C-alpha cells in the first residue's frame, strides 16, 4: 500500500472550513484514499473514501487531484467536536485476504478553537 504524508498538526476556528491535506505520491491505480478520525478516548471513525472523483457525504468532502498524488479532506463548518486526529490512508479495496488492511500513520491533530 502507498504511504501517506500529513502535517502533524493544524488549527481551525470554529465555524470555518477545515482543509486537511494528504500527500500520496506513490499511489497506484487500484488504490483508494480513505479518511478516518479518532476523537480522544474513542475508537477511530470512518469519514469518507474515494478513488479519483471528488466525494461528499454528511460529514465531509474529499477532493482528489487529477494525478491522484494528493487529496484534501474538507470539514465545511468545523465545530469543537471535530477536534481529533485525522488519518489519511491509501489502500486497495480488493477481495480475498487483502480486505481491510488499513495502515494507520501518525495522522494530523486538528484542534478547533472557539
Partner 1 sequence: DVKVTQSSRYLVKRTGEKVFLECVQDMDHENMFWYRQDPGLGLRLIYFSYDVKMKEKGDIPEGYSVSREKKERFSLILESASTYQTSMYLCASGVYNEQFFGPGTRLTVL
Query: Taking the CB of residue 47, how many other CB atoms lie within 10 A of it?
Result: 19
Residue with cell 504511504: 3
- Could you tell me which stretch among 9-17, 28-36, 60-68, 73-81 binds partner 1 (CB under 8 A)? 28-36
- The minimum distance between CB 13 and partner 1, in angstroms, equals 28
Binding flag, residue 42, partner 1 (CB under 8 A): yes
CB contact burial 54-80 (16+ within 10 A = b; e otherwise)? ebeeeebbbbbeeebebbbbbbeebee
CB-hemisphere CA count at 13 Å for 1? 20
Q: Which of 9, 45, 54, 56 touches partner 1 (CB under 8 A)? A: 45
Binding flag, residue 53, partner 1 (CB under 8 A): no
Binding flag, residue 52, partner 1 (CB under 8 A): no
By CB under 8 A, name the binding residues for partner 1. Answer: 32, 34, 36, 41-46, 49, 89, 91, 93, 96-97, 99-107
Amino acid at each position: 500500500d502507498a504511504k501517506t504524508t500529513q502535517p502533524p498538526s493544524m488549527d481551525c476556528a470554529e465555524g470555518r472550513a477545515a482543509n486537511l491535506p494528504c500527500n500520496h505520491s506513490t499511489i497506484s491505480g487500484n488504490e483508494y484514499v480513505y479518511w478516518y478520525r479518532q476523537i480522544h478516548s474513542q475508537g477511530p471513525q470512518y469519514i469518507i473514501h474515494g478513488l479519483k472523483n471528488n466525494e461528499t457525504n454528511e460529514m465531509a468532502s474529499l477532493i482528489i487531484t487529477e494525478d491522484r498524488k494528493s487529496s484534501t479532506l474538507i470539514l465545511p463548518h468545523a465545530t469543537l467536536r471535530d477536534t481529533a486526529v485525522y488519518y489519511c490512508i491509501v489502500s486497495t479495496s480488493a477481495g480475498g485476504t487483502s480486505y481491510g488492511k488499513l495502515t494507520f500513520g501518525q495522522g494530523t491533530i486538528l484542534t478547533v478553537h472557539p
